[in-house]
Amino acid sequence: MKLRWRSGNRARLLENGEAYFPAVFDAIRGAQTEVIVEAFILFEDKVGFELRAALLEAAQRGVRVDVMVDGFGSSDLSAAFVQPLIDAGVRLRSFDPQSRFLGLRINVLRRMHRKIVIVDGRLAFVGGINFSQDHLAEYGPQAKQDYAVALEGPIVGDIHRFAINAIRAGDPHYAGPARAAPRDAAAQVKGDVEALFVTRDNAEHRNDIERHYCAAVRSARRRIVIANAYFFPGYRLLRLLARAARRGVDVSLILQGEPDMPIAKTAASMLYEHLQRNGVRIYEYCQRPLHGKVALVDDRWCTVGSSNLDPLSLSLNLEANVILRDAAFAAQLRERLERLIVNDCREVAVPPAHGLRWWRVLRTFVVFHFLRRFSRWASYLPRHAPKLETP
């Protein structure tokens, strides 16, 4: 499905589960005709049970409810959790579920990593926040820092049609009826935000998200701020970030300092020296694990979504981001990220030039040439059709 920029939208930034979950659950409780949920992770915890309660309530009053979870990220849902949803008429589907081998989840590649909620074809949520308690500060030191956006206006029609097509592509038994959002953009105008819904798949849109990142970085004139949990992008984006810094753009990266997966920090740190020597400033968020996937370019272009800047997200997983052009939203995101830098980050010091060792030069050389081709070799890794199954 070909998507395009839509004007006339309203966008609201939601930071962490404290803002995201109440907004989503209230929207579901107010649904009149339809709820669609796509989630990489749905856990049986405080958040998961509250989502289930809201979905059950909606289904029991006649709202059509479709839920798609990932077979790897949400592999442990019990029959006791699932059956009440099915009994209430919720259409629950799992993306590529697989049996465990020796207790291990082996279906790690090409996951459905999107996080989308659509209510009545009029309100949509897109971001990086899963339905799990570890997105709430009360979870403790391992609670995740993350972002999502609530959207109203013509862009919701694009997101809604995409979600319906995703169900239809993976479920041959899908019959509807699922009412598409109205096509009359004028009737949906809610604000002044321009928005573009961008996805990544393993067929027609394999590099769309990366391509939009590159275009924005290439056009930057004043500042670039990227906050991304898993940072190991392709050579092209690295080169563009370095070039932007060299031509005087203030380029700042907010990356993990207290990672939920240590290998993510190790991989990202291998790129620090090259970027720093070109003028890129790198900050590590040390308050708790960073899970965000947001970026800001100049004072107007922003993106919020599920896509990390690593080989899994850029070359394998199914992802969804929304790109926004709006000065007010950009100012809000900038304020949140600057506050994060000032209060909760430490800047990584640039290593002295005389401390450059031969093994670090060799390591950088190997990493760069690995990155240069990763999207190509990733295309040869195992893939599968987007098969959906009822748990």
Domain 208-378 has CATH 3.40.1190.20: no
What distance in Å separates the CA atoms of residue 72 and residue 114, rounded to the nearest whole number? Answer: 13
Catalytic annotation present for 2:
no
Q: Which of 66, 70, 96, 120 is catalytic?
A: 120
* DSSP-assigned letters across all residues of 248-310: T-EEEEEEESS-SSHHHHHHHHTTHHHHHHTT-EEEEE-SS-B--EEEEETTTEEEEES--BS
Catalytic annotation present for 387:
no
Q: Which of 66, 70, 115, 208 is catalytic?
A: 115
What distance in Å separates the CA atoms of residue 212 and residue 320, rounded to the nearest whole number? Answer: 12
What distance in Å separates the CA atoms of residue 258 and residue 140, rounded to the nearest whole number? Answer: 13
Three-class SS of 252-269:
EEEEECCCCCHHHHHHHH
Query: Which of 7-16, 189-198, 214-223, 263-272 has the lowest average pLDDT?
Result: 263-272
Which residues, 6 or more positions from 217, have their beta carbon under 8 angstroms from its beta carbon? 224, 237, 240, 241, 244, 297
Tens digit of pLDDT for each residue in 85-123?
999 999 999 998 877 666 666 666 789 999 999 999 999
pLDDT at 109: 72
pLDDT at 386: 66
Superfamily name and number for 6-200: Endonuclease Chain A (3.30.870.10)
Q: Which of 66, 113, 326, 344 is catalytic?
A: 113
The predicted model gives 350-378 an average pLDDT of 64
Q: Which of 192, 250, 260, 298 is catalytic?
A: 298
pTM, 2 dp: 0.92
**Domain ranges, ordered by start, for the chain:** 6-200, 208-378
Tens digit of pLDDT for each residue in 298-332?
999 999 999 999 988 998 999 999 999 999 999 99
Q: Which of 291, 310, 326, 344 is catalytic?
A: 291
Catalytic annotation present for 115:
yes
Q: Which of 293, 310, 326, 344 is catalytic?
A: 293
Which residues, 6 or more positions from 120, have their beta carbon under 8 angstroms from its beta carbon? 31, 32, 33, 34, 35
What count of Cα atoms within 13 Å lies in the side-chain half-sphere of residue 23?
A: 22
Catalytic annotation present for 298:
yes
Residue of 201, 199, 162 lying closest to 316 (CA atoms):
201
